Amino acid sequence: DADVTQTPRNRITKTGKRIMLECSQTKGHDRMYWYRQDPGLGLRLIYYSFDVKDINKGEISDGYSVSRQAQAKFSLSLESAIPNQTALYFCATSDTRGGETQYFGPGTRLLVL
Amino acid sequence: KNEVEQSPQNLTAQEGEFITINCSYSVGISALHWLQQHPGGGIVSLFMLSSGKKKHGRLIATINIQEKHSSLHITASHPRDSAVYICAAYGGSQGNLIFGKGTKLSVKP
């Protein structure tokens, strides 16, 4: 079984709808991250969490919110989706004890019409 | 200017060729990562290095801290090496990874 899972894997939604992307991990890592990837732009950090009570904004947090429900779960919400949030979204985890090697989920392809 | 720059953006090689992908960074770092993104989208970590050189199979990563430069080499390239290779620097102002835009490698049989 995969160590980092994301649901859904693909989602099509309409402008203005609320969307939640979920991430779960079985690696026991403290740190979790949400990135988005756009063609030609590389990966950009949306939010990150170093433990359940520590949540921080990344480079492009506007229009997004997150919830760290437990050490193993980190959810990303788009409160009112807009077309330029169409992207590939990745969750990742890392262990503070093992340096910063990050382990990525399989990604969620989101299309906002 | 991006803090992490990769070159080339695209690379096409024949099977068996020796391949080099370059990464330059302008931030102070404590580690440099190389990642591989498969055509299906999945991302895996290949190397994390802070000095010198690391080798795993046909892949070799080097870093020169003074010159703020890292290279990823692939020896005896194979079509299954076709992927996007991403360089990422750890230790920027937010203490998180700063990613390059990636190098798309295509190895032809």
Whole-number mean pLDDT of chain A?
A: 92
- Closest partner residue to A42 among B90, B96, B101, by Cβ? B101
Which of B42, B90, B101 is closest, CB to CB, to A100? B90
The string of pLDDT tens digits covering residues A63-108 is 999 999 999 999 999 999 999 999 999 999 988 755 578 899 999 9
Looking at residue B1, its pLDDT comes to: 59
pLDDT at B103 over 90: yes
- Does the distance separating the beta carbons of A104 and B42 come in below 8 Å? yes
Q: What CA dihedral angle connects B33, B36, B42 and B43, to 10 degrees?
A: 0
Contact check, Cβ <8 Å, A102/B99: no
**One-character DSSP codes across chain A:** --SEEEE-SEEEE-TT--EEEEEEESS--SEEEEEEEETTTEEEEEEEEEETTEEEE-TT-TTEEEEEEETTEEEEEESS--GGG-EEEEEEEE-GGGTT--EE---EEEEE-
Min Cα–Cα distance to chain A from B76, Å: 26
pLDDT digits (tens, 9 = 90+) for B30-49: 789 999 999 888 999 999 99
